[in-house]
């Protein structure tokens, strides 16, 4: 008889929902509004940077909840990963996509922080930016790409979660465990 894992599943799913939704809204809404209201490249960068900075603590909490929930789900489903054909592969795929989404999120933050410093009107930030000059046009092009990569990758995670949900159906579990056993016992073919 299986136990329910509502809390860790909720952390996993709500964290991913916020990560996906926040990154998509930022790429579409926040960046679009900053371009519309900014007037100049520096003002646009300041508006977008201020919005992304406000979102950052929520984003970190969402990613942390997703990772904690994902680790918990992996632990409670370790038997399925080991014994049900297809689950290890989809879990590995999900891990790889999660790592890519984390890397894209971190890189977006690094680029965003550099652009924020370069566009700041604060004298202390201007000094820092002068010590570490960047090509802001190039950084903004890279940031635009990576900010779209995050919702694309987290959207892939949503699809992989749907696959995991399908793999948890009783008949899917039975079929997957039977196929795993057959592949490990050549005489059963």
* Residues in the chain, overall count: 189
Q: Residue 148: is it exposed, middle or buried by C-beta count within 10 angstroms (0-12/13-18/19+)?
A: middle
- Of residues 31, 134, 19, the one with CA closest to residue 67: 19
- On the CB side of 12, CA atoms within 13 Å amount to 21
Distance from C-alpha of 41 to C-alpha of 39, rounded to nearest angstrom: 7
d(Cα 139, Cα 45) in Å, to the nearest integer?
11
pLDDT at 10 over 90: yes
pLDDT at 131 over 50: yes
Q: What is the mean pLDDT of residues 9-23?
A: 97
Domain locations in the chain as residue ranges: 6-180
pTM, 2 dp: 0.82
Q: How confident is the model at residue 1 (pLDDT cuts 50, 70, 90)?
A: very low
Tell me the pLDDT of the chain averaged across its residues. 86
Q: Which residue has the higher pLDDT, 6 or 189?
A: 6
């Amino acid at each position: 008889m299986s136990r329910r894992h509502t809390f860790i599943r909720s952390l996993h799913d709500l964290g991913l929902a916020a990560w996906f939704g926040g990154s998509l809204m930022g790429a579409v809404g926040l960046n679009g509004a900053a371009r519309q209201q900014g007037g100049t490249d520096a003002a646009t960068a300041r508006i977008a940077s201020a919005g992304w900075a406000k979102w950052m603590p929520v984003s970190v909490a969402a990613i942390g909840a997703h990772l904690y929930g994902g680790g918990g789900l992996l632990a409670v489903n370790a038997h399925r990963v080991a014994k049900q054909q297809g689950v290890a592969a989809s879990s590995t795929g999900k891990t790889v996509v999660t790592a890519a989404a984390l890397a894209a999120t971190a890189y977006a933050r690094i680029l965003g922080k550099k652009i924020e410093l370069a566009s700041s009107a604060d004298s202390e930030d201007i000094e820092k930016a002068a010590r570490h000059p960047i090509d802001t046009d190039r950084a903004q092009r890279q940031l635009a790409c990576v900010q779209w990569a995050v919702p694309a990758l987290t959207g892939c995670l949503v699809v992989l979660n749907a696959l995991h949900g399908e793999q948890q159906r009783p008949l899917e579990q039975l079929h997957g465990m039977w196929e795993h056993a057959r592949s490990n016992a050549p005489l059963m073919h």
